[in-house]
Amino acid sequence: MAATVQADDIQQTRTRLQSLDALRGFDMVWIMGLEPIVKKIARVTHWPAFEWAAIQLDHPAWNGFHFYDLIFPMFLFMAGVSVPFSVGRALENGTSRSKLLWRVVKRGIILVIFGIIYNNGLNIQPIAQVRFGSVLGRIGMAYMFAAIIYLYAAERWQIFWFWFFIIAYWLILKFLSAPGFHAGDLTMQGNFASYVDRCLLPGKLYLGIHDPEGIFSTIPAISTGILGILTGITLKKTGLSQMKKVTRMVVVGVVFLVLAWIWNLDFPVNKNLWTSSFVLNVGGISLLLMALFYYIIDVKGHNKWAFFFKVIGMNSILIYMSTHFIDWNHTNTAFFNWLFQLIGNPWNAVAAAVTYLLIKWLFLYVLYRHKIFLRV
């Protein structure tokens, strides 16, 4: 029996992790167009469940946590999960660490550049008007440092660095602050991370005095990437049965959630600062969702239902960047305006949101059928 399980796991590591593509697509579909569908249904119906969901699809003003706060860090988590299956396999096949280091650094830099383009477009602007912090830039930098640690550190040291970054970040923000504020001030004006960004980050900050994708808060984000890498290592191990992998992810996920909300009493869960409690909270939820998708798709083999998400997940960066090059709203209106007029108020707004998502998905489906994927 043990030999059978091991053989199954070896075969699995040689193939693409189907659950990872599906989970990436599930993550991306919310900002691709599912969010406005939920919000418009809530506005039309006033059903309590949809009104609650609509609240969850907005970020809290500062402290606290809503579901929408999960989307960005889970994408970084999944970038980490893929590392043992890509970088790790290349190492096993004899590619040198120095060559892989350059590959990792190049990917990080490309994502930073993509993020700048996403924020500012392709128009040349004065440096003071350029926003350098970005979602893709944060993913690129955190992924890069986490992958470098993976290349040069054993698993136990990766665990050490995971805890080191979030504990060190907590201590720095607890005992330091912006000039003129008391030590440990965590307001937007007074916290040390925002102060460092105001001093070092060129161009403009997203909120004037603070940027949620700034330089200093990238430190704990590296731990989010490392957690993904450790999860990928677990999923790739041939000595663990698939059910033990699921169990390990669930147990660690639950423990992280408990620790996150205990830590929240001293260091609030806050996406804007990417606080250490936030790292554990989104890490715990990411682990539970990874366990669920892995169990259903890779363990039980029920993968047909996930095809919709897989199409999105295999071209997630492309569809994210596309909004700066394709006027999806105009395309949607051009194709379906007759339908919106036929449906009439108030449900035409819901129909518009649904068709907006549908057009984007069909675009990705055509690319999927022709095996066209944006690889960074």
Place of tokens 């119906």: 45
What integer pLDDT is reported at residue 376 of this predicted model?
79
pLDDT for residue 95 is more than 60: yes
- The residue type of 10 is I
Here the tokens at position 285 are 């939820």
Average the pLDDT over 31-58 and give the result.
96
What integer pLDDT is reported at residue 325 of this predicted model?
87
What integer pLDDT is reported at residue 125 of this predicted model?
83
Count of structural domains within the chain: 1
- Residue 195, domain extent: 2-369
Query: What is the pLDDT confidence band of residue 2, given thresholds at 50, 70 and 90?
Result: very low
What integer pLDDT is reported at residue 375 of this predicted model?
83
Give domain status of residue 375, yes or no.
Answer: no
Is residue 145 helix, strand or coil?
Answer: helix
- Kindly give the interhelix angle for 48-56 and 35-45, rounded to the nearest 10 degrees: 140
pLDDT for residue 265 is more than 60: yes
DSSP H/E element including 9: helix 2-13
Query: What is the pLDDT confidence band of residue 324, given thresholds at 50, 70 and 90?
Result: confident
Give domain status of residue 142, yes or no.
Answer: yes
Average the pLDDT over 81-110 and give the result.
95
pLDDT for residue 53 is more than 50: yes
Average the pLDDT over 37-49 and give the result.
96
What integer pLDDT is reported at residue 192 of this predicted model?
98
Q: What residues contact 55, with CB distance under 8 A and at least 6 apart?
A: 66
pLDDT for residue 9 is more than 60: no
- Residue 170: C-alpha distances to residues 8, 125, 176, 212, 275 (Å): 42, 36, 10, 17, 7
pLDDT for residue 14 is more than 90: no
Interatomic CA distance for residues 144 and 354, integer angstroms: 36
Give domain status of residue 376, yes or no.
Answer: no
Q: What residues contact 4, with CB distance under 8 A and at least 6 apart?
A: none
What integer pLDDT is reported at residue 15 of this predicted model?
52
Q: Are 59 and 271 in contact (CB under 8 A)?
A: yes
- The residue type of 46 is H
Give domain status of residue 71, yes or no.
Answer: yes
Among residues of the chain, what percentage have pLDDT more than 90? 88
pLDDT for residue 160 is more than 90: yes
Here the tokens at position 146 are 């986490």
Average the pLDDT over 272-286 and give the result.
98
Among residues of the chain, what percentage have pLDDT more than 70? 96
Average the pLDDT over 160-167 and give the result.
98
Per residue in 206-243, is it b (16+ CB within 10 Å) or e — as a string? beeebbbbbbbbbbbbbbbbbbbbbbbbbbbbeebbbe
- Per residue in 59-82, pLDDT (tens digit) is 999 999 999 999 999 999 999 999
Average the pLDDT over 296-307 and give the result.
95
Q: What residues contact 119, with CB distance under 8 A and at least 6 apart?
A: 130, 131, 132, 133, 134
Query: What is the pLDDT confidence band of residue 11, given thresholds at 50, 70 and 90?
Result: very low
- Kindly give the interhelix angle for 35-45 and 347-369, rounded to the nearest 10 degrees: 160
What integer pLDDT is reported at residue 4 of this predicted model?
33
Is residue 128 helix, strand or coil?
Answer: helix
Here the tokens at position 319 are 């569809």
Give domain status of residue 146, yes or no.
Answer: yes
Q: Are 223 and 230 in contact (CB under 8 A)?
A: no
Q: Which of 316, 236, 259, 247 is nearest to 288 (CA)?
A: 247
- Per residue in 191-232, pLDDT (tens digit) is 999 999 999 999 999 999 999 999 999 999 999 999 999 999
pLDDT for residue 359 is more than 80: yes
Interatomic CA distance for residues 244 and 300, integer angstroms: 14
DSSP H/E element including 196: helix 192-200
Q: What is the mean pLDDT of the chain?
A: 93
Here the tokens at position 44 are 């039309």
Average the pLDDT over 97-123 and give the result.
94
Is residue 203 helix, strand or coil?
Answer: strand
Give domain status of residue 374, yes or no.
Answer: no
Interatomic CA distance for residues 144 and 273, integer angstroms: 20
Give domain status of residue 339, yes or no.
Answer: yes
Interatomic CA distance for residues 3 and 317, integer angstroms: 39
Give 294's DSSP letter. I
